[in-house]
């Protein structure tokens, strides 16, 4: 890779010169508190965006939507717009979080917006006229949630060491999946299980989608509760002296700072640039698998609402176990090999799903597909943490989110385009959308193969992130 220029601008100096070690604030309490945010955030990702509310929007709210374009395609377009919004705002977020030393405040505000959007979904009734409100709230919540991951991911270095960053990252992802399991079980048992006009142990009426709308409220409360510990247990980093102008720059001026930093990063470490591009592509494919998995299960493979929720629970279990196991290999072999094997496996099982039918086949190959999602996500986060200079995690993860969101329209848009163009209004039209997801994963894998893995750093030593 390109060696560091001795006169490279300060924001991207070699981390070893900064005399900062990874995990200076690491402790079991802080690791658990940090991971609880992942546990709580599963409320949005698993319940709202993937297995419950998005399915309700597509199957119930939009079932009588007039026009040729299906509700599933509109969902793809809405999330694509959300990704574009993040792409044009996240560039300046990470650098401001670092320069202003307001990482935790930013996390609190963005998490709060996500929770409010989730709670407002209660007002989305079972009528196609409410589809647009539901899509708008999902788009808003998705944008705020993605931005909140910038300061959250930047904290990974504060709660890990060079020898454990892969395991801690995997533990966080696993906590998210297990949190999703518990919440999905609560939703299923309390609000969805059974037949008739009243569902679940709480016997909640199904009229006007009330049981699902109450699930959205429960998910909002869940996220709020488990988002609090990290705000108290993990200390804020001191204000950086490397680039004080970034904190004072206005919105448009911040893009000048961004452009300057990108040029500097290109000179200092092209490996990081290559990884940001590759990860942007394959991470969007990973998100698309979970986002549209439940929709495919219902619309194509004959799942009922209750069965898709049970599948969601099983998918979270296997993804969590995959993330925990892969974290060990990440620390021993490096994150790149974990990501490559995960993406290659997903391409195989996704291709099989194109040609099989019925609930049993989706149970088998859908679970084989999702077991690789957790390892790929966790190792992508640890990959960048190993590259980022200490004190610049927010800036790097801001670029991580920016590049990710710059490509985030790919999976949902290609899913929507393939469905609209090749599926039309025929039954099970969403099946062809799988091709769009596989294309994104494949391109991301090819791009990653050209990127050198991060350097291995002995435990307790400062991370030479860009050398």
Q: Do 47 and 184 form a contact (C-beta atoms < 8 A)?
A: yes
How far is Cα of residue 17 from the mean position of the Cα atoms in its chain?
Answer: 32
Model confidence band, residue 389 (pLDDT cutoffs 50, 70, 90): confident
pLDDT of residue 463: 35
C-alpha–C-alpha distance, residues 445 and 5, integer Å: 30
d(CA 8, CA 460): 26
Name the residue with higher pLDDT: 44 or 90: 44
Asked if 385 and 169 touch (Cβ cutoff 8 Å), the reply is yes
366 or 403: which carries more pLDDT confidence? 366
How many other β-carbons are positioned within 10 Å of the β-carbon of residue 460? 11
Mean pLDDT of the chain: 82
Question: CA-CA distance, 324 to 339, in Å (whole number)?
Answer: 14
Residues near 49 by Cβ (< 8 Å), separated by ≥ 6?
Answer: 138, 141, 142, 290, 291
> Quick one: what percent of the chain has pLDDT higher than 90?
37
Average the pLDDT over each of 92-101, 262-271, 375-384, 458-467 and give the range with the smallest value: 458-467
* Cα(331)–Cα(324) distance, integer angstroms: 11
Which pTM was predicted?
0.76
Domains along the chain?
23-449 (1.20.1250.20)
Strand partners of residue 199: 204
Q: Give DSSP secondary structure letters for 438-464.
A: HHHHHHHHHHHHTSPPPPP--TTSBP-
Both tokens assigned to 406: 């710059």
Q: Give the model confidence (pLDDT) of 108-156 as tens digits.
A: 999 999 999 999 999 999 988 899 999 999 999 999 998 898 889 888 8
Strands (E), 170-228: 198-199, 204-205
Where does residue 297 fall: left (phi above 0), alpha (psi -120 to 50 degrees), or beta otherwise? Answer: alpha
CB 274 within 8 Å of CB 4? no
For residue range 293-347, list pLDDT tens digits in order: 877 888 888 888 778 778 878 887 898 899 999 988 998 899 999 999 999 999 9
Query: Dihedrals φ, ψ of 462, to 5°?
Result: -60, 150
Q: Which residues of 317-351 are buried (b: 16+ CB within 10 A; e: fewer)?
A: bbbbbbbbbbbebbbeebbbebbbbbbebbbebbe
What confidence score (pLDDT) does residue 206 get?
92
For the segment 424-457, what is each residue's pLDDT rounded down to a tens digit? 666 567 888 888 899 999 999 999 999 999 875 5
What average pLDDT does the segment 225-250 reach? 71
DSSP letter at 199 equals E
Residue whose tokens read 């998995």: 293
The string of pLDDT tens digits covering residues 193-237 is 888 899 989 999 999 999 999 999 999 999 999 999 999 888 776
Query: Confidence class of residue 99 from pLDDT cuts 50, 70 and 90?
Result: low
């Amino acid at each position: 890779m390109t060696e560091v220029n001795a006169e490279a601008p300060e924001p991207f100096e070699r981390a070893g010169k900064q005399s900062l070690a990874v995990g200076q604030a690491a402790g079991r309490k802080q690791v658990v508190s940090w991971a609880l945010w992942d546990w709580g955030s599963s409320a949005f990702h698993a319940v709202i965006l993937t297995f419950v509310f998005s399915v309700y929007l597509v199957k119930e709210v939009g079932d009588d939507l007039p026009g040729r374009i299906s509700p599933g395609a509109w969902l793809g377009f809405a999330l694509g717009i959300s990704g574009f919004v993040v792409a044009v705002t996240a560039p300046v977020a990470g650098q401001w979080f670092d320069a202003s030393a307001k990482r935790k405040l930013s996390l609190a505000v963005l998490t709060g917006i996500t929770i409010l959007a989730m709670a407002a979904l209660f007002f989305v009734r079972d009528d196609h006229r409410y589809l647009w409100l539901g899509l708008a709230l999902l788009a808003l919540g998705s944008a705020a949630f993605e931005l909140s991951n910038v300061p959250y991911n930047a904290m990974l270095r504060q709660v890990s060491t060079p020898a454990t960053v892969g395991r801690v990252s995997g533990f966080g992802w696993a906590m998210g999946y297990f949190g999703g399991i518990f919440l999905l079980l609560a939703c299923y048992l309390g609000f969805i299980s059974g037949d008739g006009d009243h569902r679940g142990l709480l016997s909640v009426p199904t009229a006007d989608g009330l049981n699902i709308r109450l699930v959205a409220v429960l998910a909002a409360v869940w996220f709020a509760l488990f988002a609090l510990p990290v705000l108290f247990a993990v200390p804020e980093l001191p204000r950086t002296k490397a680039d004080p102008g970034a904190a004072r720059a206005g919105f448009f001026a911040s893009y000048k700072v961004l452009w300057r930093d990108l040029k500097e990063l290109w000179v200092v470490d092209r490996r990081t640039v290559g990884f940001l591009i590759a990860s942007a592509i394959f991470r969007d494919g990973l998100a698309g698998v979970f986002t549209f998995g439940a929709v495919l299960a219902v619309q194509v493979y004959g799942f009922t609402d209750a069965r898709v929720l049970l599948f969601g629970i099983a998918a979270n279990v296997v993804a969590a176990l995959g993330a925990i196991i892969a974290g060990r290999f990440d620390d021993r072999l490096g994150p790149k090999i974990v990501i490559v094997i995960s993406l290659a496996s997903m391409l195989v099982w996704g291709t099989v799903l194109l040609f099989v039918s019925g609930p049993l086949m989706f149970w088998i190959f859908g679970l084989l597909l999702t077991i690789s999602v957790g390892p790929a996500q966790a190792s992508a986060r640890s990959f960048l943490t190993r590259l980022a200079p200490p004190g610049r995690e927010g800036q790097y993860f801001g670029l991580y989110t920016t590049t990710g969101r710059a490509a985030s329209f790919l999976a949902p848009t290609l899913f929507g385009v393939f469905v609209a163009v090749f599926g039309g209004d025929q039954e099970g039209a969403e099946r062809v959308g799988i091709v769009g997801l596989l294309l994104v994963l494949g391109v991301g894998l090819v791009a990653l193969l050209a990127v050198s893995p991060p350097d291995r750093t002995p435990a307790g030593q400062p991370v030479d992130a860009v050398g």
